[in-house]
Structure 1
Amino acid sequence: SGHQTNQGGCGHSEIEDDLRIVLLGKTGVGKSATGNTILGRVAFKAETCQESVTKECRRESSDINGRHVTVIDTPGLFDTELSNEEIQREISNCISMILPGPHVFIIVLNLGQRFTQEEATTVKIIQETFGEHSLVFTIVLFTRGDYLKDKTLDQCLGKPGSSLMNFIEACGNRCHVFNNNNQTGDRTQVSDLLEKIDNMMEREKQ
């Protein structure tokens, strides 16, 4: 183990061939739409209302830029009356679908919505389920990129020290924005996300 399959110095390693992404977040934040944007097709049924469409984990894959990407859409865990233990069990069930790791956790938040206490506990739940180290594989992704208009993400996130900013900091200050209205057209936002994920994983291997 520990070997790398570097071909002719083009920088490709084994982690780049197969990527497993777990989407976490409340119903209604655009989690399923985010999965569809990443995969470039309508793989997951969109959540149009607070009634959670995703009752159990769904797994879909696509080949993106020559690599195999699997996306797991988890149930709307944070909008139910589930205890943390039940949420952990549900996430563990999801993960068993895509062993072995590493897995990238994408916490989906809606740029226009208030950040809630339930969402704030996501970090703790990920750590308790997968260990302290798991947060190094976590990215916060904001949907509703159209909401930014001509502002930057930083201008929209509010003041340092707020619960949202503390949350982002706990996730290594890794953020990304999607506009899910453009799921199949412009693929730059997806390429940028995959590049962020690769950089994150490369750093961890060093």
Structure 2
Amino acid sequence: MSSRESRVFVRGSSRRRRKSKEKPPYMSDLRIILLGKSVSENSRVGNFLLGQAAFDSEAPPDVVERVGGRLKDRHVMVINSPQLLQTNISDHQITQTVRECVSLSDPGPHVIVLLLKHDQCSAEDQECVEKVLDSFSERVYQHTIVLTTQKPTETNDILQKIIQKCFNRHFSLQRSSSSADDLLQMFEDIVKMNDGQHLDCAEGSQYFTMKQQATERLSEGVKMNLVICGSDGTLKSSISEQILDLHGRQISLVDLPALFNTRLSEEEVMRQTLRCVSLCDPGVHVFLLIIPDAPLNNEDKAEMEEIQRIFSSRINKHMMILIMQSSEHQTAELDEETQSVIERFGGRHHFFGPNTQVSTLMKNIEKMLKETQRRVFLHRDISGDADEKTDEI
């Protein structure tokens, strides 16, 4: 097991545990989501809070980590998302990352921490912060606090507006007297103000609204769970945005991170894979494997090898190869190697060009679901120890 994997299950810290009188319910457990735009800054704050080197300052920025520990008499769980406040993040990335944060803080976070800087808080940053927070819940500000790590050279009006929306809650690590205990006290004040209740991220959440957008009313009221696979993040984001722009029936769409040539350990790759599948309830109806309409390169081939290795042949009946064309004038002919790949994964494929209607793709997917009788790929199917089941309609 890798060090990162073991950190997910940390149950203690280097701080001494003190005996104390019985605490009220709102003092027993604390789930915190730490949002920022820098891996090193987020790691610094997370480590300060937990009193140990829990987060790696060189970890991949797109990985959401959860680390547990104790602070005074409180069990604390920190969910660290170091890139969610970057202004160049797409709406699809926001919804995907928010979903991970919500899943890791189940049944919901008590506190959300915005890690912001005085000299890097513009109107664009404010818009990003509001979009991200709205993706959690319309009541999110009742649970949110702003944390800064630098002394201000001058007053930043945008930052002050954000702090005001967070009920004027602000903590600065630059104060000489700042301590993790002081920060914990502010967290406890937030929990107490909310009567010990965690944030209900399903209620009023823009994220859940976006994720449940639909296609045509081919089967009204029936939810379809899709997982987007492939080595090219740009192609995956492109098709994801187009699918989510449609209306009609409910769709849950999850982006499976590239499995090959990552900095993640084997254990972490498996954990991320299991998490993506588990986010689809009751299971995955269709995996869309995105490849370019060109001779497959070594990265494409290696990614498909990893998918086949991890998911085994069980994935084949749930797989559709989506071939992305850059021009409508390209032919629908396939080279021998691509044909071989399609056959290996069950034989289904669909060409998708600049002017292709997503509704046509969805009709092919619906046809595929009828062929499989709406059977789903389950979380435990990855390890090969479960039978498939049919999604109840």
Same fold (TM over 0.5): yes
Partner of 1:153: none
2:69 maps to a residue whose letter is S
2:51 maps to a residue whose letter is G
- Is the Cα–Cα contact under 8 Å of residues 29 and 110 in structure 1 kept in the other structure? no
- Is the Cα–Cα contact under 8 Å of residues 157 and 165 in structure 1 kept in the other structure? no
Q: Which of residues 130, 134, 141 in structure 2 aligns to 1:135?
A: 141
Q: Which of residues 4, 27, 30 in structure 1 aligns to 2:38?
A: 27
Q: Which moved more, 1:83-92 or 1:191-200?
A: 83-92
1:171 to 1:80, Cα distance in 2 relative to 1, 3 A = closer
2:137 maps to a residue whose letter is G
Q: How far did 1:168 drift?
A: 1.1
Q: Which of residues 66, 78, 86 in structure 2 aligns to 1:71?
A: 78
Partner of 2:104: 97
Q: Which of residues 44, 55, 58 in structure 2 aligns to 1:44?
A: 55
Q: Which of residues 53, 56, 60 in structure 1 aligns to 2:60?
A: 53
1:78 to 1:203, Cα distance in 2 relative to 1, 3 A = closer
Q: Which of residues 116, 120, 139 in structure 2 aligns to 1:114?
A: 120
Partner of 1:165: 160
* Count of matched residue pairs: 175
2:29 maps to a residue whose letter is D
State how far apart, in whole Å, the 2-side matches of 1:157 and 1:196 are: 25
2:44 maps to a residue whose letter is A
Q: How far did 1:138 drift?
A: 0.2
TM-score, length-scaled by structure 1: 0.74
- Higher Rg: 2
SS of equivalent to 2:139: helix
Partner of 2:90: 83
SS of equivalent to 2:179: helix
Encode CA deviations 1:9-48: one digit per residue, 9 max, x unaligned. Answer: x68222211111111111167111000000000111125x
2:62 maps to a residue whose letter is K
Q: How far did 1:201 drift?
A: 1.7
SS of equivalent to 2:60: coil
SS of equivalent to 2:106: coil
Q: How far did 1:169 drift?
A: 0.8
SS of equivalent to 1:79: coil
State how far apart, in whole Å, the 1-side matches of 2:33 and 2:159 are: 21
Partner of 1:177: 172
1:79 to 1:56, Cα distance in 2 relative to 1, 3 A = same
Q: How far did 1:202 drift?
A: 1.1
1:74 maps to a residue whose letter is S
Q: How far did 1:74 drift?
A: 0.6
Partner of 1:4: none
Name structure 2 gaps, 5 residues minimum: 1-20, 197-393
* Identical residues among aligned pairs (%): 30
Q: Which of residues 21, 25, 28 in structure 2 aligns to 1:14?
A: 25
1:66 maps to a residue whose letter is D
2:155 maps to a residue whose letter is G
TM-score, length-scaled by structure 2: 0.41
The structure showing larger relative contact order (alpha-carbon pairs under 8 Å, at least 6 residues apart) is 1
Alignment of 1:204 onto 2:199:
no
The RMSD of aligned alpha carbons is: 2.7
Encode CA deviations 1:35-85: one digit per residue, 9 max, x unaligned. Answer: 0000000111125xxxx7332101111111122101111141233632234
- Is the Cα–Cα contact under 8 Å of residues 149 and 173 in structure 2 kept in the other structure? yes
SS of equivalent to 2:31: strand
- Is the Cα–Cα contact under 8 Å of residues 39 and 61 in structure 2 kept in the other structure? no
Name structure 1 gaps, 5 residues minimum: 1-9, 149-155
1:85 to 1:55, Cα distance in 2 relative to 1, 3 A = closer
SS of equivalent to 2:94: helix
